[in-house]
A and B are shown apart, each in its own frame.
Chain A
Amino acid sequence: MLIREIGVLIRKEFDLEIRNKVAIGGILLYVVTTVFLCYLSFRELQDTTVWNTLFWVILLFSALNTISKSFQTESRYRLLYLYTLVSPAAVILSKMIYNILLMGITALVTLLFYSLFLGTSPLEGANAGMYLVALLLGCAGFAGIFTMIAAIAAKTGNQLGIMAILGFPLILPLLLTLIGLSGIALRGLPWEYGTTELLILTGLNILIAALSYILFPYLWRE
């Protein structure tokens, strides 16, 4: 039942996104512009640590931008309408899964343009599998935390500002662990070196999903 509801809601999100191509185009343009700005400021980055950190910071801001609109587009009346049809857990989980997919696309596009402009040298000799896993876990974590924060911030007038204030301190354990894990991957070390980070990231993602599942119904109730 819940799974079917989630499936329908995700399809709804996709339909809306495709109907309104400006939104996804805006996100991609945001990413490309930011990367280009960094390129003009830095020219080329030889240092792997700086390359890695800057990439995650860019991705963090594009996540904030992408996900901030996930509850903005829902008007009060549409939320009420959804409330009569589906369970609140289905709403938050579907938004989360949809945002993970959206973040995955954003991350891949960012990585493409980022390595195109700022140099591919750090990627050569990297542990590609581990790097992709880091990217995936990162997208899931960003999407998870920011979806919940967006739901909270949607109750206030100043969505984007409040989201940054509420979200950045909370995203920190995730961001630091991600920078650590992708740094290990970029140095080309085998999987054993990243076990702690992998465990922390997986645990955090499960924790965030569980918390959102438990807490969202209270937020939803008017």
Chain B
Amino acid sequence: MKNWWKYLSVALLLYVIVVSLNTPLGPGLTAVSPENLNTGENSEIKVIGYNTHFRNNPPDMQHPGVWLESDGFHLTCNNVEVIDDQELHFSVEVPDELPSKSLHVFVSYDEGTFMLPNAFRAEQSVKNDQLKNEAPESFSGSVTAFYFPNREILRESIRNLMFHVPMWFTMMLLMTISVVYSIKYLSGLNPDHDLIARQAVNVGLLFGILGLLTGSLWARFTWGQWWVSDTKLNGAAITTLIYFAYTILRGSINEEQNKARVAAVYNVFAYVILIVLLMVLPRLTDSLHPGNGGNPAFSSYDLDNALRTVFYPAVLGWMGISLWILQLRNRTERIKQQIENA
């Protein structure tokens, strides 16, 4: 079959859209109240879950196991009461001495063991690093359903992974194609190569803008602002600036051959420095992105299997679509030139 890769990428993207928007999120804990605990007192606490089924318990247990943890020191909770599948009430006796001011909460039942990190702050705690004890028995979960991980901060927005991240991969692919054709142009002065280099930049910029838009939307949901000062965001902004400058440069030279040559030289020069920039910038500043500064990571050991089965097809699908757009743009541009010359 001739254009198999076009059919394949459309099929992949359909699969990605359907699966990524329909797969449910796994169980997780979203909120507790109150968030501040007084040391040396007995506190009544409420925990809210998302997509959880607190009523399903192992046969030998009346209710889920609940405990708090502070740096290796575990506090067992009493009077656990299941209100419904998403809500639990319990009480806990907080001692005067704790190893750390922040406490995590764990809920363990039939579906697995779930944690909300840094759920509580204990005021006026006496710091005692010596406190340590064994964690209570936890269940690894009997549910094998296909779902996306429920991560704090991200929640339902985790689906954007399939749309935001591949935009950047695709953009870098197109910019690399562009620089390869610029080098080819410089060595052979074939106008066709220049055409491909120029159109690859145009399509790459389209994907760059889409990446900025999806990223901005995601940042609003997770970090609270449309734009935050972050290494990756600034790197992305600079990349788009460099390639917009490329189009401006083309526009400001009149003679066709001169334009192609100067633009190709700039393209190669800019691409090499851009690669250095993208490697250097993260070393100089901290990033809010996955894997940096306490954000949930998607690194190779961490990317969940369910996410993986959608993410890899998404990357391939978007790349395929971008190459198709590039091919169409090259053809229309060539036809336009032929009409002009005729």
Q: Do A and B come from one complex?
A: yes
Interface of A with B (CB < 8 Å)? 145, 148, 152, 155-158, 162, 165-166, 168-170, 172-173, 176-177, 180, 196, 200, 203-204, 207-208, 211-212, 215, 218-219, 221-222
A64 to chain B, nearest CB (A): 14
Take A204-B276, A207-B276 as given contacts and tell me if A165 and B248 are in contact as well, using a CB distance cutoff of 8 Å: yes
Say whether B276 contacts A173, CB under 8 Å. Answer: yes
Take A172-B238, A200-B280, A207-B276 as given contacts and tell me if A221 and B261 are in contact as well, using a CB distance cutoff of 8 Å: yes
Bound Cα distance A26, B273 (Å): 31
Interface size class of B (residues with CB under 8 A): 20 to 34
A-B contact pairs, 27 of them (CB 8 A): A145-B273, A152-B265, A152-B266, A152-B269, A155-B253, A155-B262, A156-B253, A157-B252, A162-B252, A165-B249, A169-B242, A169-B245, A170-B270, A173-B273, A173-B276, A173-B281, A176-B280, A177-B280, A196-B283, A200-B280, A200-B283, A204-B276, A207-B276, A211-B268, A218-B264, A219-B265, A222-B258
- Chain A residue at minimal CB-CB distance from B238: A169
Which residues of B (156-187) have their CB < 8 Å from a CB of A?
186
Chain B residues with Cβ below 8 Å from A207 are 272-273, 276
Chain B residues with Cβ below 8 Å from A212 are 269
Take A169-B241, A170-B273, A211-B272 as given contacts and tell me if A177 and B284 are in contact as well, using a CB distance cutoff of 8 Å: yes
Bound Cα distance A166, B272 (Å): 14
A204 to chain B, nearest CB (A): 6
Bound Cα distance A218, B185 (Å): 10
Take A172-B277, A219-B262 as given contacts and tell me if A166 and B283 are in contact as well, using a CB distance cutoff of 8 Å: no
Bound Cα distance A198, B30 (Å): 46
Chain B residues with Cβ below 8 Å from A173 are 273, 276-277, 280-281
Which applies to chain A's interface (DSSP): helix, strand, loop or mixed? helix
Take A156-B253, A177-B284, A221-B261 as given contacts and tell me if A166 and B266 are in contact as well, using a CB distance cutoff of 8 Å: yes
Bound Cα distance A215, B273 (Å): 14
- Chain B residue at minimal CB-CB distance from A219: B265
Which residues of B (231-260) have their CB < 8 Å from a CB of A?
238, 241-242, 245, 248-249, 252-253, 258
Chain B residues with Cβ below 8 Å from A222 are 258
Bound Cα distance A155, B167 (Å): 33
B201 to chain A, nearest CB (A): 14
Chain A residues with Cβ below 8 Å from B264 are 218
B274 to chain A, nearest CB (A): 8
Chain A residues with Cβ below 8 Å from B273 are 145, 170, 173, 204, 207-208, 211
Known: A173-B280, A211-B273. 17 other contacts (CB 8 A): A152-B265, A152-B269, A156-B249, A156-B253, A157-B252, A158-B252, A165-B249, A166-B249, A169-B270, A170-B269, A176-B280, A176-B284, A204-B276, A208-B273, A215-B268, A218-B186, A219-B265
Chain A residues with Cβ below 8 Å from B265 are 152, 215, 218-219
Say whether A211 contacts B269, CB under 8 Å. Answer: yes
Chain B residues with Cβ below 8 Å from A218 are 186, 261, 264-265
Bound Cα distance A180, B238 (Å): 19
Which residues of B (117-140) have their CB < 8 Å from a CB of A?
none
Bound Cα distance A148, B269 (Å): 9
Chain A residues with Cβ below 8 Å from B284 are 176-177, 180
Which residues of B (272-329) have their CB < 8 Å from a CB of A?
272-274, 276-277, 280-281, 283-284
A146 to chain B, nearest CB (A): 12
- Chain A residue at minimal CB-CB distance from B255: A155
B260 to chain A, nearest CB (A): 11
Bound Cα distance A165, B261 (Å): 19
Bound Cα distance A96, B154 (Å): 50
Bound Cα distance A172, B261 (Å): 25
